[in-house]
């Protein structure tokens, strides 16, 4: 019979149905004691089929309501010196370690066994620890790899449903919604239950880079789970219901058109193409109305406090009105006066921002999304760039990367001047297509009307007058954070633009001028000499030649001490000695001796292109 002394111990019998296989066959039973709990060897212990644990009876009674009732009540087990514990051995041993004050880290794969065990055995301190961990992890604003793995998240969600818990499923759904971009790339994404996925895509915190990512993920999930849905006789209704959560007006035209042959997505794809044509004012029939939406919410780009990237690339229907609509508070969509003004924005895409005056200043307040670091509006030909940058500046204060590739209605220098409103921007991509490059026919300013339907909006561009550029020099402040600038294929870039770039981009380390046929060897050499931090340059198919080679080969001042420029102190190394990327393919103005001399000075180049140079 058990005594009540402080040295009263009880033996806990635990059966391990799946012991860890070991090379040496040991005994089927092992006896361990909580006196040695800090040195327990789990792999060895878990290799036995039966684990007997000698534990202090009073400690169990104090820390566990289960053992308190078992040993202190009128149960027959209260008088026994040993009892059987029917629980997963690994989880139970970790619960014992917590009861005895050992450090215990809750992790993604341990949470559910510990949480379920703490509920069953009534270990309140462990339950509190699990709840605190789950709350902190599920509400974390830190970006990167999520701390809860998707397969574990699914099991936690199912556990919450089985135990009629409202908090756990809602927390799991919210977590999945915020980390959807990570989840859709997981091999376990196809295992997400339909109800969990539907709740996720309806969740206000659903965070995606673009509507295309959501559509692609849902189509993939449906294709993988169609047999399960058909067996439940819910295939048609479930497919239709979940696909209706997609906002068709925000999909790239090429994506929507390409999905017309998808058995699950064909109807939605037709609606998508129809919506896109309506928004681009290219009606399929004359009676189409651009405001044929019951909810303006379907025109809003999905933005949450967790959004890091906004990808609008390839969507010709996107206008500055849609961007403005997306950064307004959702509650404003039901306010009659603001809704009327938003309708004006959509009907009059010519210059949406001028309609601000029609709305009381107190109403038109935009939200701030501080996590957004990258925006891609490449191929958005109808977007009024000046208005868009204004929105980005106000609503994305942490913006670092701007991609505006394949836009033929903007001017490089004017765009850089606009970007000064976004002080943290460090990377800009203004690439245009240069294949095939026919100088006599291609112009970044004159080609826009050939690429898109006529738009009443005035193109955001300026002519290359020396006075205009000089004016920009005088009033432009240095963009100290611009480190990477891609101008590939831009025929509007000339030497004056390079001079402007060298003056304002004082931290520039990567410059891509591939296919910029309007710049000269002198212009390129000048920017090389002025941008002292430059260590990567792409000048394929340009006039890069002798003067530029001399600039790269010349000794440079100490970048760490810019006063050396004036004091005359020089580095022994040349500028090219610090270069990591050097692409000169297609440049015919380099002779063999100059090239050999240049190559002899490279020390850190890890990417080199000399294809079709004069010496190759």
pLDDT digits (tens, 9 = 90+) for 498-536: 999 999 898 999 999 999 999 999 999 999 999 989 999
The whole-model pTM stands at: 0.82
pLDDT digits (tens, 9 = 90+) for 589-606: 888 888 888 998 988 899
pLDDT for residue 569 is more than 50: no
Beta pairing partners, 29: 50
Q: Are 499 and 412 in contact (CB under 8 A)?
A: no
Q: So what CATH class is 1-104?
A: alpha beta
Q: Who has greater pLDDT, 163 or 475?
A: 163
Q: How many CB atoms lie within 10 A of CB 3?
A: 10
pLDDT for residue 353 is more than 90: no
pLDDT digits (tens, 9 = 90+) for 547-562: 999 999 987 665 445 4
Q: Rounded CA gap, 539 and 343, in Å?
A: 46
Give how far Cα 140 sits from Cα of 136, 188, 306, 445, Å.
6, 22, 10, 46
pLDDT value at position 141? 72
pLDDT band at 570 (very low <50, low <70, confident <90, very high): very low
Q: Tell the burial category of 336 from Cβ atoms under 10 Å away from its Cβ (0-12, 13-18, 19+).
A: exposed
The first and second tokens of residue 228, run together, are 């399960």
Q: Are 552 and 598 in contact (CB under 8 A)?
A: yes
Q: Who has greater pLDDT, 155 or 297?
A: 155
pLDDT digits (tens, 9 = 90+) for 68-117: 988 887 666 667 889 999 999 999 999 999 999 999 999 999 999 999 99
pLDDT band at 256 (very low <50, low <70, confident <90, very high): confident
pLDDT value at position 144? 62
By C-alpha distance, which of 78, 158, 87, 76 is closest to 119? 87
Residues whose CB falls within 8 Å of the CB of residue 358, separated by 6 or more in sequence, listed in order: 341, 344
Residues whose CB falls within 8 Å of the CB of residue 481, separated by 6 or more in sequence, listed in order: 400, 423, 424, 425, 426, 507
Task: List the strands of the sheet with 607-609, edge to edge.
Answer: 309-311, 374-376, 401-403, 427-429, 484-486, 510-512, 536-538, 581-583, 607-609
Give Cα 35 to chain centroid, integer Å: 49
Torsion angle of the four alpha carbons 15, 19, 23, 24, in this order, in degrees rounded to the nearest 10: 0
Residues whose CB falls within 8 Å of the CB of residue 21, separated by 6 or more in sequence, listed in order: 47
The phi and psi torsions of 80 (rounded to 5 degrees) equal: -85, 155
By C-alpha distance, which of 256, 254, 252, 294 is closest to 272? 256
pLDDT value at position 298? 83
Any idea which of 176-180, 185-189, 558-562 has the lowest mean pLDDT? Answer: 558-562
Helix-then-strand count for the chain, H and E: 25, 13
Beta strands 50-56 and 427-429 are: unpaired
Q: Rounded CA gap, 231 and 226, in Å?
A: 9
Q: What residue has token string 């949450």?
A: 304
pLDDT value at position 165? 84
Any idea which of 305-319, 362-376, 425-439 has the lowest mean pLDDT? Answer: 425-439
Give how far Cα 358 sits from Cα of 339, 362, 384, Å.
11, 12, 19
DSSP 554: S
Chain length of the chain: 616
**What DSSP line would sit under 437-490, residue for residue?**
--TTT--TTTSHHHHS---SSPPB-----HHHHHHHHHHPPP-TT--EEE-TT-
Q: Rounded CA gap, 146 and 182, in Å?
A: 8
pLDDT for residue 442 is more than 50: no
Rounded to the nearest integer, the mean pLDDT of the chain is: 82
Cis peptide, bond prior to residue 273, ω within 30 of zero: no
pLDDT band at 146 (very low <50, low <70, confident <90, very high): confident
Q: Where in the chain is the domain with CATH 3.30.710?
A: 1-104
Q: Rounded CA gap, 20 and 439, in Å?
A: 71
């Amino acid at each position: 019979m058990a005594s009540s002394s402080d040295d009263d111990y009880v033996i806990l019998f635990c059966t391990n149905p799946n012991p860890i296989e070991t090379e040496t066959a040991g005994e089927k039973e092992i006896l361990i004691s909580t006196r040695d709990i800090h040195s327990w060897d789990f792999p060895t212990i878990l290799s036995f089929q039966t684990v007997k644990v000698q534990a202090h009876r009073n400690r169990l009674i104090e820390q566990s309501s289960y053992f308190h009732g078992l040993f202190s009540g009128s149960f027959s087990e209260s008088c026994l010196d040993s009892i059987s514990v029917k629980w997963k051995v690994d989880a139970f041993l970790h619960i014992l370690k917590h009861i005895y004050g050992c450090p215990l880290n809750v992790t993604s794969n341990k949470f559910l066994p510990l949480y379920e065990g703490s509920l069953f055995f009534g270990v309140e301190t462990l339950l509190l620890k699990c709840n605190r961990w789950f709350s902190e992890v599920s509400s974390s604003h830190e970006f990167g790899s999520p701390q809860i793995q998707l397969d574990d998240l699914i099991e936690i969600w199912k556990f919450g449903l089985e135990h009629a818990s409202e908090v756990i499923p809602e927390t799991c759904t919210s977590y999945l919604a915020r980390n959807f971009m990570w989840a859709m790339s997981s091999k376990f994404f196809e295992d997400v239950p339909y109800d969990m996925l539907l709740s996720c895509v309806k969740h206000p915190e659903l965070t995606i880079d673009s509507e295309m990512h959501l559509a692609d993920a849902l189509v993939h999930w449906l294709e993988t789970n169609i047999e399960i849905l058909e067996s439940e006789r819910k295939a048609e209704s479930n497919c239709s219901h979940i696909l209706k959560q997609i906002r068709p007006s925000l999909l790239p035209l090429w994506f929507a058109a390409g999905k017309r042959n998808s058995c699950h997505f064909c109807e939605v794809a037709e609606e998508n193409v129809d919506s896109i044509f309506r928004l681009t004012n290219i009606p399929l029939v004359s009676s189409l109305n651009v405001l044929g939406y019951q909810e303006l919410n379907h025109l809003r780009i999905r933005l949450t406090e967790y959004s890091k990237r906004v990808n609008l690339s390839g969507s010709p229907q996107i206008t500055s009105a849609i961007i403005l609509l997306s950064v307004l508070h959702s509650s404003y969509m039901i306010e009659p006066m603001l809704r009327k003004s938003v309708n004006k924005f959509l009907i009059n895409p010519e210059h949406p921002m001028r309609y601000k005056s029609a709305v009381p200043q107190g109403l038109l307040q935009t939200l701030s999304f501080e996590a957004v670091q990258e925006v891609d509006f490449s191929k958005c030909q109808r977007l009024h760039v000046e208005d868009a940058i204004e929105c980005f500046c106000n609503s994305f204060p942490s913006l670092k990367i701007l991609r505006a590739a394949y836009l033929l209605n903007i001017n490089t220098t004017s765009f850089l001047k606009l970007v000064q409103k976004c002080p943290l921007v460090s990377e800009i991509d203004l690439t245009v297509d240069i294949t095939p490059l026919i100088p006599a026919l291609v112009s970044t300013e004159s080609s826009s009307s050939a690429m898109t339907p006529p738009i009443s909006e005035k193109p955001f561009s300026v002519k290359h007058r020396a006075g205009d550029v000089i004016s920009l020099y005088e009033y432009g402040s240095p963009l100290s954070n611009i480190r990477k600038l891609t101008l590939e294929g831009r025929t509007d870039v000339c030497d004056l633009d390079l001079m402007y770039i060298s003056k304002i981009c004082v931290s520039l380390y990567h410059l891509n001028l591939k296919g910029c046929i309007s710049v000269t060897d002198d212009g390129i050499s000048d920017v090389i000499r002025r941008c002292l931090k430059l260590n990567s340059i792409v000048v394929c198919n340009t006039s890069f030649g002798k003067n530029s080679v001399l600039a790269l080969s010349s000794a440079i001042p100490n970048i760490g001490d810019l006063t050396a420029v004036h004091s005359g102190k020089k580095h022994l190394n040349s500028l090219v000695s610090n270069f990591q990327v050097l692409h000169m393919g297609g440049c015919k103005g380099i002779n063999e001796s100059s090239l050999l001399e240049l190559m002899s000075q490279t020390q850190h180049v890890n990417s080199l292109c000399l294809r079709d140079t004069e010496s190759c």
